[in-house]
Structure 1
Amino acid sequence: MAFLNNVLEPPAYGWTDKNGDLAKPTKKQLFNEFFSRLNVFKDKKNWLSFMSWMMIVVLAPTLLIFIFKYFSIKLLIVAFVYSMIIMGTHGTIWHHRYCTHGAYKFSNGFWRFITQNLTLKIIPEEIYAVSHHVHHALSDKPGDPYNASGGFLYCFLADVNHQPIARDLNEKDYNRCVRLMQHTGVKTNTYTQYQKWGTLANPFYALTGVALNWGFWFLTCYLIGGFGLGCAIFGAAGFWAVGVRTFNYEGHGKGEDKRRDGIDFNREDMSVNQVWPGIVAGEWHNNHHLYPNSARSGFKPWQVDGAWYYIKFMSFIGGVSSYRDNKAEFYADYYEPHKASKTTSLHEGVIAFEALEKDLLPKAV
């Protein structure tokens, strides 16, 4: 816990207030922090956050070109499916269940590379994975990088304001960060390079990886459906990249307790299962917080889990060598006891009603 408490770069307004509670910055403080951390002229260590948002800026014109020049119902459907389902599900498969939680293992580097590049590279693995370990350790507590109690902007701007790794890690803690990422295949800096660039990711390899990935996918789209398809796909990817930054605010009840009996079994934090993220991305968030290392989070029959289907398919063809599936534990530890308690309560209620009826009947006569 000591390591995870200090692994992220604290914002200027801090994680806690003078009373030890969550520091809730004003909008002005949030935006000041955001633009300060994007300023690569002020500090080149801001390069990764700058790159992450600059990719969205670069993608924005493709969305506008699609809308105003190449728009059609067919391309709109393609863009919708790519943005809502393909990008979302891939984020769950790659960034969430693999990079962060290691819920499954690839048979070799080839299948890992294929899975990593199934869609456009937009979110740097480092920004997502390291901070997500902190999120689970401090969920809905001060220090949680996207604590919903901080408000919408606190979560929406978190990838810049709260999620980058600390820039003053000692060599031991930096190497611990490297070990958190080593299974992903991301090329990391040496400690000396980290002191210069402030990140795990090596800027040369990171930028080269994005350029090659984008070049491959735009060429593929162009060969299949021309410039219009390329703009539709790239614009949709940019749209998703903005939308996904809203998820954790919604996924933790907007800072309120919106958990439902019989649906959200985890009571350690405010995470909730949501139908839309579940269907389009396999992100049944409350289930995930129950079993974060499970390759499946759609435990109930109606909980569609596209990410899990991909992992199972990869296992079937030999691309995945092993995975963890906690469905049986979920039913044994949570669902069946809940179901039994409800049956017992109903039975006791019937008995109580019958007793009351017998007590009142003679008086009525």
Structure 2
Amino acid sequence: MAFIHDVLEQPSYGWKDENGNLSKPTPSQIFKEFFSRLNIFKTKKNWLSFMSWMMVVTLSVFLMFFIFKYFSIKGLIIAFLYSMVVMGTHGTIWYHRYCTHGAYKFKNNFWRFFTQNLTLKIIPEEIYAISHHVHHALSDQPGDPYNAQGGFLYCFLADANHQPINRNMNEKEYQRCVTLMKHTGVSVNTYAQYQKWGSVANPFHAVVGVIANWAFWFTIFYLIGGVALGCAIFGAAGFWAVGVRTFNYEGHGKGEDKRRDGVDHNRKDMSVNQLWPGFVAGEWHNNHHLFPKSARSGFKPHQVDTAFYYIKFMSMIGAVSQYKDSKAQFIKEYVTPFIKVEAAPVYCPETGKRILATE
């Protein structure tokens, strides 16, 4: 556990207060940390967080062009579907179920590259994957990089404030980080390069990868629908990039216990299943926390799982060589016992009549 506790760069306000509880910084402390972490003039080791937010700023320019110059109802519908469904589903497929949890395996590197670049590249894999391992190990505890109990800003700005890796690891610890990332195909730094840049990802390859990805997709959208379509979709991607930073705050009950009997079966943390993220991105968060390595998290009939449908399709055509599906285990261990308990007959102590527990 020592590695999990230390793998991320601790913010200036710390993970814990003097009593060992979650340190809850003020908004001014959070913003001060945020701008400090983006300051590449202070240290070049801030490059990854800076690049991540510069992509958001750049995409917002496309959004402004769409709103004020190329706006149309058709473009708005396309932008909505792209940001909510396409980007959301891809985030679950790539960053969540593959990069972090390795819930499935590709047949070869071509299909991995194909899936990685299915949409605009916005989130650096390193920022997401390594910190997400910590999130699962320390969920809703001090050290969880996006602990909802810290408040909205604590989660919203976590990618800069809490998710970058520790910049002072020894070589053995750094190699453990590399091991967490090597299956993603990200070009990694040597230990000497890590000491210079403070990241696993190599900055040159990362920047070139984003430029190539954006150039390819803008060309495709331009050929289909001109500049208007390009601006609509690029702007939509920027909208998603901002919105996704709010997810964990909502997905863990905004710091409160909002779990429901028969809906949220995982009781080890405050994660909840939400209809909207589930329907548009296959993100049934409480289910996922029960079985994080499952390629499917939509276990119940109404729980649409677009991410799993893609993985399943890729398996059918041979692009995915194997995947794990925990649906049967979920039904056996959580749904069936709950139904039996709910339906179990009991006796009313006053009348002596047999009634259902649900009554």
Partner amino acid, structure 1, of 2:196 = K
Partner amino acid, structure 1, of 2:173 = D
Q: How do residues 162-177 of structure 1 correspond to structure 2 at under 5 angstroms?
A: 162-177=162-177
Question: Could you tell me which residue of structure 2 aligns to residue 153 of structure 1?
Answer: 153
Q: Distance in 1 between matches of 2:88 and 2:181?
A: 21
Question: Could you tell me which residue of structure 1 aligns to residue 131 of structure 2?
Answer: 131
Shift of 1:16: 0.2
> Secondary structure of the residue that 2:183 maps to in structure 1?
helix
The two structures have a TM-score, normalised by structure 1, of: 0.96
> Secondary structure of the residue that 1:24 maps to in structure 2?
coil
Question: Could you tell me which residue of structure 2 aligns to residue 279 of structure 1?
Answer: 279
Shift of 1:61: 1.1
Partner amino acid, structure 2, of 1:186 = V
Q: Distance in 1 between matches of 2:349 and 2:111?
A: 60
Which structure dedicates a bigger proportion of its chain to helix?
Answer: 1
Shift of 1:26: 0.3
Q: Distance in 2 between matches of 1:41 and 1:121?
A: 25
Partner amino acid, structure 2, of 1:34 = F
Question: Could you tell me which residue of structure 2 aligns to residue 140 of structure 1?
Answer: 140
Q: How do residues 59-78 of structure 1 correspond to structure 2 at under 5 angstroms?
A: 59-78=59-78
In the alignment, structure 2 segments of 5+ residues that lack a partner are: 355-359
Shift of 1:159: 0.1
- The structure 1 segments of at least 4 consecutive aligned residues displaced by more than 2 Å after TM superposition are 351-354
Partner amino acid, structure 1, of 2:346 = E
Question: Could you tell me which residue of structure 2 aligns to residue 363 of structure 1?
Answer: none
Q: Show CA shifts across 1:73-114 (max 9, x none).
A: 111110000000000000000000000000000000000000
Question: Could you tell me which residue of structure 1 aligns to residue 97 of structure 2?
Answer: 97
Q: Distance in 2 between matches of 1:287 and 1:10?
A: 29
Q: Show CA shifts across 1:161-194 (max 9, x none).
A: 0000000000001000000000000000000000
The two structures have a TM-score, normalised by structure 2, of: 0.98
Question: Could you tell me which residue of structure 1 aligns to residue 2 of structure 2?
Answer: 2
Question: Could you tell me which residue of structure 2 aligns to residue 336 of structure 1?
Answer: 336
> Secondary structure of the residue that 2:321 maps to in structure 1?
strand
Partner amino acid, structure 1, of 2:352 = A
Partner amino acid, structure 1, of 2:249 = Y
Shift of 1:68: 1.1
Q: Distance in 2 between matches of 1:96 and 1:352?
A: 50
Question: Could you tell me which residue of structure 1 aligns to residue 188 of structure 2?
Answer: 188
Q: Distance in 1 between matches of 2:11 and 2:228?
A: 41
> Secondary structure of the residue that 1:186 maps to in structure 2?
coil
Question: Could you tell me which residue of structure 2 aligns to residue 362 of structure 1?
Answer: none
Shift of 1:352: 4.9
Shift of 1:355: 1.4
Question: Could you tell me which residue of structure 2 aligns to residue 22 of structure 1?
Answer: 22
Give % identity.
73
Q: Distance in 2 between matches of 1:197 and 1:260?
A: 45
Question: Could you tell me which residue of structure 2 aligns to residue 251 of structure 1?
Answer: 251
Q: Distance in 1 between matches of 2:130 and 2:201?
A: 12
> Secondary structure of the residue that 1:348 maps to in structure 2?
strand
Question: Could you tell me which residue of structure 2 aligns to residue 355 of structure 1?
Answer: 352
Q: Distance in 2 between matches of 1:354 and 1:231?
A: 69
Q: How do residues 285-364 of structure 1 correspond to structure 2 at under 5 angstroms?
A: 285-344=285-344, 347-349=345-347, 352=349, 355=352
Q: Distance in 1 between matches of 2:178 and 2:61?
A: 35
Q: Distance in 2 between matches of 1:352 and 1:32?
A: 61
Which structure would you say has the larger Rg?
1
Shift of 1:356: 5.7
Q: Show CA shifts across 1:237-260 (max 9, x none).
A: 000000000000000000000000
Shift of 1:49: 0.1
Q: Distance in 2 between matches of 1:70 and 1:353?
A: 70
Question: Could you tell me which residue of structure 1 aligns to residue 357 of structure 2?
Answer: none
> Secondary structure of the residue that 2:105 maps to in structure 1?
strand
Partner amino acid, structure 1, of 2:65 = I
Partner amino acid, structure 1, of 2:141 = K
Q: Distance in 2 between matches of 1:356 and 1:8?
A: 59
Count of residue correspondences: 354
> Secondary structure of the residue that 2:213 maps to in structure 1?
helix
Question: Could you tell me which residue of structure 2 aligns to residue 240 of structure 1?
Answer: 240
Q: Distance in 2 between matches of 1:60 and 1:237?
A: 9
Q: Distance in 1 between matches of 2:173 and 2:124?
A: 20
Partner amino acid, structure 1, of 2:182 = Q
Q: Distance in 1 between matches of 2:138 and 2:178?
A: 21
Q: Distance in 1 between matches of 2:352 and 2:328?
A: 39
> Secondary structure of the residue that 2:230 maps to in structure 1?
helix
Partner amino acid, structure 2, of 1:55 = M
Question: Could you tell me which residue of structure 2 aligns to residue 50 of structure 1?
Answer: 50
Partner amino acid, structure 1, of 2:282 = G
Question: Could you tell me which residue of structure 2 aligns to residue 361 of structure 1?
Answer: none
Cα RMSD for the two superposed structures: 0.9
Q: Check if 1:107 corresponds to 2:130.
A: no
Q: Distance in 1 between matches of 2:349 and 2:314?
A: 54
Shift of 1:58: 0.7
Q: Distance in 1 between matches of 2:277 and 2:41?
A: 37
Q: Distance in 2 between matches of 1:315 and 1:237?
A: 27
Shift of 1:38: 0.1
Q: Distance in 2 between matches of 1:106 and 1:354?
A: 62
